[in-house]
Amino acid sequence: MEFGIWILELMVLMVSIRTELAEHGIVPKKGLGQHFLTDRNILNKVIETAGLDKGDIVLEVGSGLGMMTLVLAGQAKRVIAVEIDPRLTEILKEKTTDRPNVEVLQKDILEVDFHRLCEREGQRLKVVGNLPYRISTPLLFRFIDSKETLSSLTLMLQREVAVRMTAAPGGKDYGLLSVFTQVVSDPSICFFVKPSAFFPPPRVDSAVIRAVWKNKPVVSDQDMGWFKRVVKGCFGYRRKTLINGLKHSGLSSPETAERMGRAGIDPQRRPETLTIEEFARLAAALKR
C-alpha cells in the first residue's frame, strides 16, 4: 500500500513539473544537462545528508525550478541559489519573493567567486546541489581549490564520478580525481539514485556524495602545487612505470630513482598503486 502511494505521489510530482515547464514554454536543454529531480523522498534524503542548521549559508548549485531551494530556505540562515538558465531564474525569483533569505544568481557556477561570497557572508558556505553532468569534474576541482571558503559538499552527480572520487588505490577508477579529492577531504557515497527519479531521465545512475575537509591534510597548502604537478605527471602516463612516467613528464633527474628508493617507493610501480601518503612522500622526495 505504501509503495503504491509513493508511486502515485511520484507520478503527480512528475506531472506537475512537466506542467510547470509547459506553462512557461520551457523544454529541458540537453546542452545544459537539465534533469529535474521529481522524487520528494530523494530530495529529503539529500537535505538530511547535508546536515544543515539554522546558522548555515547554503550555496545551491543548479536550482532549476526551486523544488529544493524552498526546502533549504526553511532550514538554513540563507540560500544562495545559482542557476545558469535565465528562464528558470525568473521563475525562481517569483517563487521566492516572500523568502528574504533566498538570493537567486543567474550565473554559470564555474564563474562564481566563492571567495567573494564567503567574505561577504562572513562565514564558509555549505554546498548542496545537483551538478550538471557535463561540468561535474571541473567544478569539483574548483571546489577543492576553494576549500577554505566551503565547509562541506553534498552533491548529486553521475555514479561514475562518485565512484572515482572515492576509489581506493589499485583499480581502474583510481586516478587524479581520487587523489586530489582524498588528499584534502574524506568523501563518501551516501546513496545511489535511479534515472527514474528525474525528468527527463538521464542515461546513467546518479549518486549523492558528501565530502568534509580533513582537519589535517596530508599535504600542506604551500606544497600542494608541486604535489599536484607530480601526481599529474605520474597519471599522465598511466600505463608506464613511475620512473618512466616522470621522465616523460619532465620531472625526472639522474637522482630520481635513488630518491624514490630512499622514500620507500619502487620506481617500477604503476601510479594507480600508490596511496595518497605515498604520493606525498614521492612529491617531497622529488622536491628535495
C-alpha cell read off for 157: 552527480
Mean pLDDT of 189-207: 94
Rounded Cα distance, 178 and 226, in Å: 17
- Same domain assignment for residues 93 and 133: yes
Q: How many domains does the chain have?
A: 2
Enter the pTM of the model.
Answer: 0.88
- Same domain assignment for residues 80 and 35: yes
- Same domain assignment for residues 32 and 166: yes
- Same domain assignment for residues 97 and 37: yes
Rounded Cα distance, 257 and 52, in Å: 49
- Same domain assignment for residues 111 and 253: no
Give percent of the chain with pLDDT exceeding 70: 94
43 within a domain of the structure (yes/no): yes
- Same domain assignment for residues 36 and 152: yes
CATH assignment of the domain containing 196 = 3.40.50.150
Rounded Cα distance, 207 and 157, in Å: 6
- Same domain assignment for residues 87 and 138: yes
Concatenate the DSSP letters of all residues of 250-265 into one string: T---TTHHHHHHHTT-
> What is the model's pLDDT at position 5?
40
53 lies in which domain range? Answer: 28-213
Rounded Cα distance, 4 and 19, in Å: 22
101-123 tens-digit pLDDT: 999 999 999 999 999 999 999 99
Residue that finishes a domain, picked among 191, 213, 235:
213
- Same domain assignment for residues 149 and 258: no
5 within a domain of the structure (yes/no): no
- Same domain assignment for residues 139 and 265: no
19 within a domain of the structure (yes/no): no
For residue 201, which of 60, 42, 68, 87 has the smallest C-alpha distance? 42
- Same domain assignment for residues 197 and 277: no
> What is the model's pLDDT at position 288?
67
More confident residue, 229 or 13: 229
53-75 tens-digit pLDDT: 999 999 999 998 998 999 999 99
Which amino acid would we find at residue 153? L
- Same domain assignment for residues 32 and 63: yes
Residue that finishes a domain, picked among 148, 183, 213:
213
Per the CB < 8 A criterion, the answer to whether 11 and 199 are in contact is no
14 within a domain of the structure (yes/no): no
- Same domain assignment for residues 91 and 182: yes
Peptide bond into 200 cis (omega under 30): yes
For residue 79, what are the β-bridge partners?
58, 102
> What is the model's pLDDT at position 55?
97
CA 118 to chain centre: 18
User: Where do the H-state alpha helices sit in 24-158?
Assistant: 40-50, 67-73, 86-95, 114-121, 136-145
User: Where do the H-state alpha helices sit in the chain?
Assistant: 2-23, 40-50, 67-73, 86-95, 114-121, 136-145, 159-166, 176-182, 221-235, 242-248, 256-262, 276-287
57 within a domain of the structure (yes/no): yes
DSSP assignment letter at 175: S
User: pLDDT confidence of 134, banded at 50, 70, 90?
Assistant: confident
What's the whole-number average pLDDT of the chain?
90
18 within a domain of the structure (yes/no): no
Residue that finishes a domain, picked among 213, 241, 258:
213
